[in-house]
Structure 1
Amino acid sequence: MTTLKPLFWSGHDVSEWDAERHRLAEALAATPAPGPASEWAAGGFAWVADRWNARHRGRGAVRGAVVAGDAATALAALTAARPVHARRRPVALLFPGQGAQHTRMAAGLQGFEPVFTAAMDELFTLLGPDGERTRADWLAAEPKVPVHEVSRAQPLLLGVGHALARTLIGWGVRPGALLGHSVGETAAAVVARVLSIEDAVAVIRHRVAAAALQPPGGMLAVVAAPDMLAPYLRGPVVVGAVNSPRQTVLAGPAAELADTAAELREAGFTAVTVPSPLGFHSPAVAGLADSGLDVFGRVALKPPEMPLYSAYTCAPLTAEQAGDPWFWARQVADPVLFWPALDRLLTDGDFLLVEAGPSQGLVTACRRHRSVIEGRSDVAALLPARPGPAEADRAALLTAAARIWTEGHDLTPR
């Protein structure tokens, strides 16, 4: 199996950057061709990469990085590399929610990245009797329980987001801000130490059990602004999320939502079903919010230890809000205002927005924001945009590490 490695270098100016690039190329050119000996033996590619990163990458303001699995590939990437002037914008981690999940999301990192693996193992232990079944379904190409079911999507989205954040922090990156979507706000709250991972899993386990008692529902992504959809919203179908100026998610009971979807398509709107068996973020799941109040009332809720922007208040979370059980319990039924929250975040400062979860839906939305279009902020993702082999997960993670390095952050991946 190829062992992917990032390679970092830097200089105080472009001339020094280029000289360091040539030094790295010389080190790689001397690497023996792959053979029966371990690549970790002295002189092998992985050994050269680790030794270079530990001793020679420097901390200059002009940076470069490549990700490769062998010396020949690294040399080719070096030839095409261009200098990047470090901006040193803080990293804002974005955590996706229900609808972003897919089969084997991030499974390629299990056993590859130690901190990620330990965090996921902890999740499965905390899930109790269903933990090993959830792990088996997560790792399977054809899971017994589909990943879109609440019993799989909710704990795995929490676990993957938390594990990715733990990985980055373990590498030495301290987030400058956090912003979550739906259950992603719970993952962000764990990272900000508003609640522990143990308590977050307890909340999710309760939600999964209570969800089984809710009537069927659904969610519908529509290419339109909320005000354009107002004439089509009747009865229990409501706006469940505002993801960008022209991407709105509707939610409600299954039958009524199907009627609304048919009417919208007949009127010429593009409407895509979101994989969710319930009408999250609508009155259809008010029972989930009510039942969640009791469990949130039993957990320890603390002020955030880093800026946590809420997609429900569209502002940094206050200590009072963080400590309010009803604020957290009602999120399952309240609308997600991701775009207004993102707008507040990018009004407060310029960031490297890094999505810590599957599918890249959030950074895709972020690319439409004026701050990103004008280059004041930028985006990166820790996982691929779509399902793929294990190597794709690993390449995405290390490519994001390379992007964070060229931004000006000093980090040490495995």
Structure 2
Amino acid sequence: MIKPPERWYLLAFSAQTHHDLDTLTEKLAALLQENAELALEEVAPALIASYGEDSIRRTLVCHNRQEALETLRLHDTGKLLTGEPQTRHRPIAFLFPGLGEQYEHMGQQLYLTEPVFRKYIDDSDELLRPFGLQLKETLYPTDTQQEHTPSQEKLDLRRLLRRTASTSRLNQTALAQPATFAIEYALAQLLFSWGIHPHALLGYSIGEYVAACLAGVFSFPDAVRLVAARAQLIERLPHGSMLAVPLSEQEITPLLGNHLSLAALNGDALSIVAGPSEAVSELERLLQQRDIVTIRLNTAHAFHSHMMKAIASEFEDVVRTCTLQAPRIPYLSNVTGTWITPEQATDPGYWATHLHQPVRFADGLQALWKQPEMALLEVGPGQTLCSLALQARQNPEQESVTLPTMRAAFEHLDDRAFLLNTIGKLWLTGVPLNWNQFYQQKPDYTLPQLLRTTVEPPEQETSEARKMSRRRKPKQKRTRPWLTTDYVPPSGEREQALVSLWQRILHIDGIGIHDSFFELGGHSLLALRILEALKKTYGVELPLSSLFEAPTVAQFARVLDDALRGEHHQHNEAQPAAFTGPALHYQLPNGLKIMHQNKAETDHFYEDIFVHRAYTSHLPELPQNACVFDVGANIGLFTLFLHSLNRGIQIYAFEPSPPTFEVLSRNIALHKVNARLFPFGLSDTARTAEFTFYPFSTGMSSFYANRAEEEEVLTSILQNQYQQARPEMEQVMRYAGELVEERLKSQTFVCKLHPLSAVMKENAVERIDLLKIDVQKSELDVLRGIADEDWNKIHSIVAEVHNLHGQLDTITNLLKAHGYTLTVQQDELYKGSVIYLLYASRP
């Protein structure tokens, strides 16, 4: 017998300022500490009723009061989420996935704890019995060897990499389609019961049936019957295959021939092809010969292909037995890629056509993005549609809210905790929620009185803090910089000792326990000094990664406590949160406020660009109203530098890495730069490629990542710094191996590439005064993307060249052949490496 899962609670509250919000957080922690009789199910509705209308919001999902208390006291930003929505009435669209993400035990914790969800799964099960289908037994099998409960592991890597051969009946079309429909419909009804109502709907393939049913086109019993009949008709058809191809509709169509069909358009350069397995294999071989990477989908049939036409007439007859009504909620058609019309929705022939026409999902996503401030919520397993939605944005500066509601098959997380986290995030972004419906409990209005208790001020600096601060006479300290967090003082001897150490190492006064080490200006070298000081004081040796994974005093105090107790610190195998997004604010030495990803790189970029003017020092002065292509813009410092020199410059900035592009976008918007931003790279042909992103070394991120080459460059830099007799480098060299390992932690993205001349043509660019190229080994690809007739339009070029396989000579000869005068230099920092700067200009 499966035991009931743990209860989970969502706490939500708000205030007018960050300081007030932090004060309320501390008071809530004190309240829970001092009033053990208060149950979380009483606290949660009272809290939102009393403190839920202000603009700065905070949420916490926890499964008991002890977890809530610990998170509130430690201000654990991994669990305690804060947001300041730009609107309090953000509209929302529901996205419904198709097949491919279904798995056994899908939504099981919701089935056990949420009556609304359970009702619609039970009702679907009853409606499917006449078709010989046993939905609940298939979704929640009881003959497995162990109960299905969330593991302590966060990921099932074998499932993630698709290396487990599943024998689940959910892989059979006849069961997979009804099960997917039932889960998504039940989940949507649960959201409705919580007062979350969509303004628009978009489904993928079978997901359009969920959208149509919720919109009122079909009744629920008719929709279940239609989906089951459709699936059984498909099951009778000959088997086929489907292939994901990184090409546009125009590029793939000539290759389809008579046997293959375009089954789906998921992006500008992401198509799905379907047809007989032999024809799909032949196309796969052809594309491999052209170095085009493809992915074979795990499916037994060629959905949305001409192979489906054999059952279209029979299925249309089934649809005619149903009563169809005009939609009451707007939704988008897979067939047309735009808003469904009442005539289409109520035409049985439309649903027959839907079987064998391509799913124009990318068009539907672009239509949704045209709706102002729309949030997109994926209602179903996984977050594939969220990923497609982010890729479909046409305006890269548009704020994007895309959230999943249900874990993917490879994630071992509690279903209700996952969903509650998403509900909290929706509210943080400004989606209005009906809290009375959500909690279904009258709030206790005595809570505000209890929260008026005061918080005791922190004690004075303790002996432990004084012991650490006496080790070196402190230099003149700077004031606390511009940060996203409000100041929260240390409490307790350990936090005070760490704050004292950080203030000494960073030369900053007034550090709070929730201030990020990296946002304060910390970097790898300073992190090593922190660790050395802790080793001398406490006798514990912590890895460099510990500070990267716990970058605030509050977080790091727990790591240190664990180490002193002899407990093994569990390393987080995921990408470090401190560097994966635009979370860090920074003020450059010239006073310019920016967003950035880490201080060490930003300081290096600033020194090169603003101080040494590395990209412009050997080139003619730019004229007024000049046109500049910043290829490999990173976070935008060169673009900002040009803007500070000449407000009339028109800049075209290219950055393929999604996390870096997000920072670039915010910097350009913050300073109102006259720049057009492109979330792709430049190359010799239009294609997609895998991009390796190093969160701790973003400037080394590349389409041609090679760990040995990156290690060689980093080692050369460290050696050069050591030979320059920098005082801290002897200590650093002892950690060189670990430092390089941290810097080269990576994640990958599939990114787009376009030829430079194609961009010029599309944007009517007739003159480029400066082409700046800093693209980590792709510089020759960029230059080869210039058509012969466009070379005379480019007046100056500066490129960082990686001299691998004689590339410096190749590029030099290419530029000389086009009439450029050249200068080549190597910075002192890169001596012994393959990196050079090349300047080219026309006489």
TM superposition score normalised by structure 2: 0.46
Instruction: Pick from 421, 425, 448 the counterpart of residue 403 of structure 1.
Output: 425
Query: How far is the alpha carbon of 1:223 from its aligned partner?
Result: 2.6
Distance in 2, matches of 1:311 and 1:30, equals 56
- The answer to whether residue 278 in structure 2 is matched with residue 255 in structure 1 is yes
Matching of residues 330-369 of structure 1 within 5 Å = 330-369=353-392
Distance 1:311 1:27, change over 3 A: farther
Helix, strand or coil: the match of 1:260?
helix
Contact 1:310 1:317 in 2 (8 A): yes
Distance in 2, matches of 1:102 and 1:218, equals 20
Instruction: Pick from 35, 44, 49 the counterpart of residue 49 of structure 1.
Output: 44
Query: How far is the alpha carbon of 1:99 from its aligned partner?
Result: 2.2
Distance in 1, matches of 2:294 and 2:239, equals 19
Helix, strand or coil: the match of 1:350?
coil
Number of positions where the alignment pairs a residue of Structure 1 with one of Structure 2: 403
Contact 1:372 1:378 in 2 (8 A): no
Distance 1:371 1:396, change over 3 A: farther
Contact 1:223 1:270 in 2 (8 A): yes
Contact 1:10 1:57 in 2 (8 A): yes
Contact 2:241 2:274 in 1 (8 A): yes
Query: How far is the alpha carbon of 1:145 from its aligned partner?
Result: 4.9
Distance in 2, matches of 1:350 and 1:291, equals 42
Distance in 1, matches of 2:427 and 2:395, equals 19
* Deviation larger for 399-408 or 127-136: 127-136
Distance 1:266 1:386, change over 3 A: farther
Which of 1 and 2 has higher RCO (CA within 8 Å, sep 6+)? 1
Contact 1:160 1:357 in 2 (8 A): yes
Distance in 1, matches of 2:34 and 2:292, equals 59
Helix, strand or coil: the match of 2:169?
coil
2:13 match: 9
- What are structure 2's unaligned runs of at least 5 residues? 146-165, 440-843
Task: State the percentage of identical aligned residues.
Answer: 29
One-letter amino acid of the counterpart of residue 94, structure 2: L
Query: How far is the alpha carbon of 1:209 from its aligned partner?
Result: 2.3
* Deviation larger for 343-352 or 192-201: 343-352
2:120 match: 119
Distance in 1, matches of 2:196 and 2:132, equals 29
- What are structure 1's unaligned runs of at least 5 residues? 33-41
One-letter amino acid of the counterpart of residue 7, structure 1: L
* Deviation larger for 186-195 or 120-129: 120-129
Query: How far is the alpha carbon of 1:179 from its aligned partner?
Result: 0.5
Deviation string, structure 1 residues 351-372 (Cα, Å, up to 9, x no partner): 1100001121100111223368
Deviation string, structure 1 residues 39-74 (Cα, Å, up to 9, x no partner): xxx534444335534x43422232211111123433
Distance 1:372 1:22, change over 3 A: farther
Matching of residues 237-252 of structure 1 within 5 Å = 237-252=260-275
Query: How far is the alpha carbon of 1:329 from its aligned partner?
Result: 2.0
- The answer to whether residue 416 in structure 2 is matched with residue 394 in structure 1 is yes
- The answer to whether residue 295 in structure 2 is matched with residue 275 in structure 1 is no
1:320 match: 343
Distance in 2, matches of 1:238 and 1:122, equals 36
Query: How far is the alpha carbon of 1:131 from its aligned partner?
Result: 6.8
1:308 match: 331
Contact 2:405 2:418 in 1 (8 A): yes
Helix, strand or coil: the match of 1:386?
coil
Helix, strand or coil: the match of 1:348?
coil
- The answer to whether residue 58 in structure 2 is matched with residue 64 in structure 1 is yes
Helix, strand or coil: the match of 2:171?
coil
Distance in 2, matches of 1:242 and 1:280, equals 13
Contact 2:60 2:81 in 1 (8 A): no
Distance 1:161 1:376, change over 3 A: same
Deviation string, structure 1 residues 178-217 (Cα, Å, up to 9, x no partner): 0111000000111111111111111112112212321111
Distance in 2, matches of 1:376 and 1:288, equals 43
Distance 1:169 1:258, change over 3 A: same
Distance in 2, matches of 1:59 and 1:347, equals 28
Deviation string, structure 1 residues 61-97 (Cα, Å, up to 9, x no partner): 3221111112343345441246422233211100011
2:104 match: 103
* Deviation larger for 259-268 or 116-125: 259-268
Helix, strand or coil: the match of 2:354?
helix
One-letter amino acid of the counterpart of residue 291, structure 2: G
Distance 1:83 1:394, change over 3 A: closer
Contact 2:242 2:274 in 1 (8 A): yes
Deviation string, structure 1 residues 95-136 (Cα, Å, up to 9, x no partner): 011223233332332112221111111111111245762211
2:84 match: 85
Contact 1:353 1:363 in 2 (8 A): yes
Distance 1:305 1:26, change over 3 A: farther
Distance in 2, matches of 1:402 and 1:253, equals 45
Contact 1:173 1:410 in 2 (8 A): yes
Distance in 2, matches of 1:27 and 1:373, equals 44
Distance in 1, matches of 2:70 and 2:288, equals 48
2:137 match: 136
Instruction: Pick from 381, 386, 402 the counterpart of residue 379 of structure 1.
Output: 402
Distance 1:28 1:224, change over 3 A: farther
TM superposition score normalised by structure 1: 0.90
Query: How far is the alpha carbon of 1:170 from its aligned partner?
Result: 0.7
Query: How far is the alpha carbon of 1:144 from its aligned partner?
Result: 6.8
Deviation string, structure 1 residues 350-402 (Cα, Å, up to 9, x no partner): 3110000112110011122336842423110101233344x432222111111
Contact 1:124 1:131 in 2 (8 A): no
Deviation string, structure 1 residues 159-184 (Cα, Å, up to 9, x no partner): 11111111111100110110111000
Distance in 1, matches of 2:348 and 2:211, equals 16
Contact 1:354 1:379 in 2 (8 A): yes
Helix, strand or coil: the match of 2:425?
helix
2:310 match: 287
* Deviation larger for 124-133 or 179-188: 124-133
Contact 2:128 2:134 in 1 (8 A): no
Contact 1:27 1:48 in 2 (8 A): no
2:180 match: 157
Distance 1:159 1:30, change over 3 A: farther
Query: How far is the alpha carbon of 1:320 from its aligned partner?
Result: 1.2
1:74 match: 68
1:195 match: 218
Distance in 2, matches of 1:273 and 1:135, equals 30
- The answer to whether residue 356 in structure 2 is matched with residue 299 in structure 1 is no
Structure holding more helix per residue: 1
- The answer to whether residue 226 in structure 2 is matched with residue 225 in structure 1 is no
Distance in 2, matches of 1:371 and 1:403, equals 24
Distance 1:7 1:223, change over 3 A: same
Distance 1:52 1:281, change over 3 A: same
1:35 match: none
